[in-house]
Amino acid sequence: MASEPIVFFDLPTRAPVKAWSLNPWRTRFVLNYKGLNYKTEWVEYPDIKARLEGHVTPNAGDPSYTIPAIRLPDGKYVMDSYKIADELEKQHPAPPLHLGAPVQLRLVELLKRVHPPFFGIFATGVPKNLLSAASIPYWYRTRSEDVGMPLDEYSRLKGGEVAFAAMAPHMRAITELLKQTPDGPFFMGKELSYTDFIWAGFLIFVRNVDGEAFERALELSGDGQAHRDLLEALKPWSERDDH
């Protein structure tokens, strides 16, 4: 008798529904790469707490409940992309993810510097281009609270070339990190790792939010082709994005 599938909780776009958000993409990559039996349950932003509350320990900060999350065949819920990766690696060690490799820790630090400038671009790009009507008010309310002003105003002040100028040096640093092993296309050369999923998830996210911003970011990265090569190499595990 076939085992129950893993249930993967992901954030939907408007129809036709597909994956878009950077953190859930990390989990989707792992599930696809390890060839695990799973099904996606799409959860709109306002419904996340109600769906996960009582099943998993809430986050210490706000929001208390976040996507991605999974429900394993034994009924156990796991929330947070890193915790999910750890759990799936324990239960399904092959093929390996090389979790916690030095290059992963370095990328995470650089991503913390790239992400804030990009928010000036995707603050309004996400609701305008991706979210369904059910999630748009939630996004505007919570993200406006985060930055302390209306998102349209924030984008005027922090978006466009202001954002690109701020993130450019960190994009170049990530390019250098990606190319430090010359036989590529992955961060660990020819060895695929979770580090690749972290960065590819972010690139797919930016591309989904704003194609022009994606092209501009690659232009400023110092070697856009290196990032394109990474995405191309990961295609076998990024093609499943809508179920």
Domain that holds residue 76: 6-91
Residues 121 and 188 in one domain: yes
Same domain, 131 and 154: yes
Average pLDDT over residues 211-234: 97
Return the CATH number at 66. Answer: 3.40.30.10
Instruction: Please give the pLDDT value at position 1.
Output: 38
In a domain, 193, yes or no: yes
Q: What would the mean pLDDT of 177-195 be, rounded to a whole number?
A: 96
Residues, the chain: 243
Least confident of 71-75, 149-153, 181-185, 189-193: 181-185
Q: Are residues 130 and 224 in the same domain?
A: yes
Residues 166 and 64 grouped into a single domain: no
| pLDDT tens readout for residues 3-37 | 799 999 999 999 999 999 999 999 999 999 999 99
- Across the range 140-158, mean pLDDT stands at 97
Please state the rounded mean pLDDT for residues 80-104.
Answer: 98
Domains in the chain, number: 2
Average pLDDT over residues 182-209: 96
**Does 1 map to a domain?**
no
Whole-number pLDDT of residue 134:
97
Predicted confidence at residue 2, as pLDDT, reads 55
- pTM of the entire predicted model: 0.97
